[in-house]
Each structure stands twice: as structure tokens, then as C-alpha cells.
Amino acid sequence: MTRMLIIGPPGAGKGTQAARISERLGVTAISTGDIFRANVKNETPLGIEAKKYIDAGNFVPDSVTNEMVRARLQEDDVKDGFLLDGYPRTAAQVEELDDILAGKGQKLDVVLQLTADDEELVQRLLKRAELEGRADDNEDVIRHRLDLYKAQTADVVASYDKRGIVARVDGLGGIDDVTERVMEALKDIC
């Protein structure tokens, strides 16, 4: 059973690697974006609440996000482990996740941090924006997102570093190469 978190800057390949890790380890990959979309689509009470913030262009408050994650982690498909992508993003969310797992007699096993050089990420994201026709993803916006990532996740990573459960892997290079580095880093943990 593996309970893990994947974290990394925009463009580091979290989604791609999460899908591959999920398949190889047989654990459910859970992205907070998917949780939000499912709750909004199904018009759950939490989805209706979250939609108000999303439609206004605001962040969904921790209280709503935490409840969505809590509910998701009660579902049957995560009883043998999970891989969280996009949560926790703040120190308060780290505490909430600890509380959710403690209520089930569990704890997080590993935090996989994909690392990457900012300049390479900027070029990767500019190329992706061009291919996908994302005119709003210009260099200034991308650099701002990278700065936000660093500011928001510094405390999260520091918290898990203190526990000795962070595995850092270079997220740059070919997809298969990164996957092999990830699996090598996880082999003694998972």
C-alpha cells in the first residue's frame, strides 16, 4: 500500500508521471482539478460552493478543498493507496491531510518532488502554449506561475523534508527517462 504526493513546478510533467506511477504501482491517481470538476459536474453541495469561487476567478477556499479531498479519500478505490497531485498546497492543507489520514490510521509514505530548471521550464511551457494555442501563456505569465509555485509550496516541502519522506527526481528529459528515475527513487519506499 502506497500513499503518496507528487509535487513540482508547472511544466515538470506531474500529470504524465502521475499516470505512469499509478499504472506501475496499481494506485489511484487523484488530482484536485479532477475532484473539483467532478463535484461541479455532479452539482454536489461542495461543487456548487466551489463553482461560486471558480466562476469569480478566485481560489477555492481551503475549507471547501479540504472537504472534497476528505470525501475523495473515503472512496473504495483508494483503500490500497493513492497518489495525490495538487494537494496539499499550503501548510494548513498539510495539517488537514495528516488529520484525514490519521483518522484512518494512516500516514503519507512519500512525497515525490519533480525538480526542473526554471529556464528549461519556461521554454517547455512556451512551446506547449504554442502547440495548444494558449495565447495567455506568455513568458511573464509562466514566470509568475513558477514564482507562485515556489512561494506556495516551500512550506509544504519543508514540512515533509522534516519527516524525511521527500524523494527528489529531475523532471527534465525524455518521459521514459524521467519515469525510470522516478521508479528508481521509489523502489525502496513503495
In sign, the C-alpha dihedral spanning 66, 69, 74, 80 is: negative
Catalytic machinery residues: 14, 89, 128, 134, 145
Q: Is 149 annotated as a binding residue?
A: no
How far apart CA 67 and CA 176 sit, in angstroms, is 35
Q: Is 124 annotated as a binding residue?
A: no
CB atoms within 10 A of CB 74: 12
114 sits in which H/E element: strand 110-115
Q: Is 88 annotated as a binding residue?
A: yes
Q: Is 134 annotated as a binding residue?
A: yes
Q: Is 12 annotated as a binding residue?
A: yes
Q: Is 8 annotated as a binding residue?
A: no
Write phi, then psi, for 85 (nearest 5 degrees).
-125, 115
Q: Which residues are annotated as a binding site for AMP?
A: 32, 37, 58-60, 86-89, 93, 134, 145
Q: Which residues are annotated as a binding site for ATP?
A: 11-16, 128, 173
Q: Which residues are annotated as a binding site?
A: 11-16, 32, 37, 58-60, 86-89, 93, 128, 134, 145, 173
